[in-house]
Structure 1
């Protein structure tokens, strides 16, 4: 009886772990910028994870802002969110791009 309970408990733990790892691949907010850049942004506790054009992902930390929310990293990437609009800039670009939320099907 004890062995059966151990097997059942182990199976329940494995199912719970599998459920946690099945997070949808397409999560977060999607933006399309006026310069053609597409962003997938996941806002986390103290920052944002930004996937650029479906490729590289950048981790940005929250920084003080007078309005909205601002995030940046040490390489010069900067995201500023104010409502449904964001502005996106990198060290390689001199002017920020204006970006708007887009709806994407799952």
Structure 2
């Protein structure tokens, strides 16, 4: 019984952390006027719409004042195993730097 409770807590913590990662990604996209849905679709073209991403975008709870730097964004994505999205973000970073 106790093991099940611990497992549920671990799963819940992971979901909370994943939601934070998505919020950071969405905010990073806002910082650079990029479409998070388009970048996600570019990274994962065969996946259906990401419900968690959709929920974060729709909830928009005032994270706007927070600037996420490029290195942090890449680190967070890689930490969660979102390698494909990290590659797309890295490509966007290069495009943004060329525009400067």
Q: Fold-level match, TM-score > 0.5?
A: no
Q: Which has the larger radius of gyration?
A: 1
Structure with higher helix content? 2
Could you state the TM-score of these two structures normalised by the residue count of structure 1? 0.30
Could you state the TM-score of these two structures normalised by the residue count of structure 2? 0.32
Higher relative contact order, structure no. (Cα contacts within 8 Å, ≥ 6 residues apart):
2
Structure with higher strand content? 1
